[in-house]
Amino acid sequence: MRHTLPLIYFETVAKHGSIRSAAEELAITASALNRRIISMEEELGVELFERHSNGVRLNIAGEIFIQHTRKQRADLERVRSSIADLMGMRSGHVRIAATREVTRYFLPTAIADYRKQFPGVTFDVNAMNREDVEQQLVDHHADLIVVFQPTKLSEVHTLIHSQQNVHCVMSRQHPLAQDEIIRLSECTKYDLLLSKRGEGVRELIENAAVKKGLRCDPAIESNDPAFLERIAMEGGGLSFAIPIGISQFHTKDRLISTPMAETEIEPGFLFVGQLRNRTLPVAAAKFVEGLRKRLGE
C-alpha cells in the first residue's frame, strides 16, 4: 500500500468487526470508512472482509493481509530501534505479553530500572492468561513474552528459562508462620486462597494434591494475585505464589512467604521468549539482558 493510513483503517475494522464501531474510534463517518475499505480492496484486487448483518469478518485473504501488515509494523519498529541505537538516542518501544505472576512486582521494577538508564524507551505491557500469551507473538502484537508455566512454546524461541519454586504466603500470625518448610497436607487444614483453575501455580498445587490423594478446594479463588495476597495478609487463609510474584514490601511487616516442600510440589518454570526466526528490536534485546541479570540474582 502507498500510505500507512489505510492500513490503520483496515486494522481497526478488523479489530472491531464492525464498520460503525471502527468509525467511532477513528472519528470519521461510517460511510467514509466503508469507502476507504472498498478502495483498498479494489487496489488489492480482492475482498478482505465477509459482510454480514451483524458486521464484518476477515476472510482468508484478509487474514493473510493482516498478518502481512503486522509483520511490516514489527519490522519497522526493529529498524527504528536499530537506527536510534546507532545514533545514541537509546529510544524504542518494547511490547510485552505476560502472565499475572510477573506483572505485579517483577516486571514493574525491571521496567522502572531499565527506563532510568534509557528514558527514551516506551513500553506496552499486557497481562493475560497463559493460554493467550504465545498468540500475541504469532499475531505480532508483542516482541517478548514472559510467562510462568506456558501451555505450549511451539512458535517461541526461548531466551530465558528460570526455575521458580512455589511458596505459601500467609499472615505472620498464622499457625504455620513459624515453619521453615510447609507441606501441602498441612495447608489443606486451613482456608485455601487459590488462583483460577488453569493458571500456573494452581496447576502445580492441584497436580501435587492428586498425587497425594488430597482435596484442595479453594475457600476463595480469583485471577487477581494482589486480591488473594491481601486476604492472606488479613489472616483470611493461605495463598500461593512464586518468589518474584510476592511483594517484598508487605512481607517485612505483615506477610511471610515460606517455600513449599519440593518433594510434594514440583517447581515451575518462568520463560522469556520471542517469536522464532525473528530479530528483536534493539531496545527489547537490551531489556532481556536486564531480565537475565535480575533472574540470575
Provide the pLDDT for residue 89.
52
Provide the pLDDT for residue 267.
92
Confidence of residue 86 (pLDDT cuts 50, 70, 90): low
Whether residue 179 has pLDDT greater than 80: yes
Q: How far apart are CA 219 and CA 198, in angstroms?
A: 17
Whether residue 4 has pLDDT greater than 70: no
- For residues 87 and 20, which has the higher predicted lDDT (pLDDT)? 20
Provide the pLDDT for residue 1.
40
Cell digits for 171? 499472615
pTM: 0.71
Provide the pLDDT for residue 77.
74
Q: Which domains occur in the chain, in start order?
A: 5-58 (1.10.10.10), 65-164+269-296 (3.40.190.10), 167-266 (3.40.190.290)
Confidence of residue 248 (pLDDT cuts 50, 70, 90): low
Nearest by Cα to 205 from 261, 129, 146, 271: 261
Whether residue 93 has pLDDT greater than 60: yes
Whether residue 44 has pLDDT greater than 70: yes
Cell digits for 295? 533472574
Of 1-5, 85-89, 137-141, which has the strongest mean pLDDT? 137-141
Q: Provide the mean pLDDT of the chain.
A: 88
Q: How far apart are CA 227 and CA 239, in angstroms?
A: 10
What tens digit of pLDDT does each residue of 108-130 get? 999 999 999 999 899 999 999 88
Confidence of residue 157 (pLDDT cuts 50, 70, 90): very high
Amino acid of residue 5? L
238 touches 190 (CB < 8 A): yes
Confidence of residue 3 (pLDDT cuts 50, 70, 90): very low
Amino acid of residue 209? A
Q: What is the mean pLDDT of residues 19-29?
A: 89
What tens digit of pLDDT does each residue of 50-72 get? 988 888 999 998 888 888 888 87
**DSSP-assigned letters across all residues of 11-27:** HHHHHHT-HHHHHHHHT
Distance set, CA 204 to CA 185, 265, 273 (Å): 14, 6, 22
Provide the pLDDT for residue 152.
86
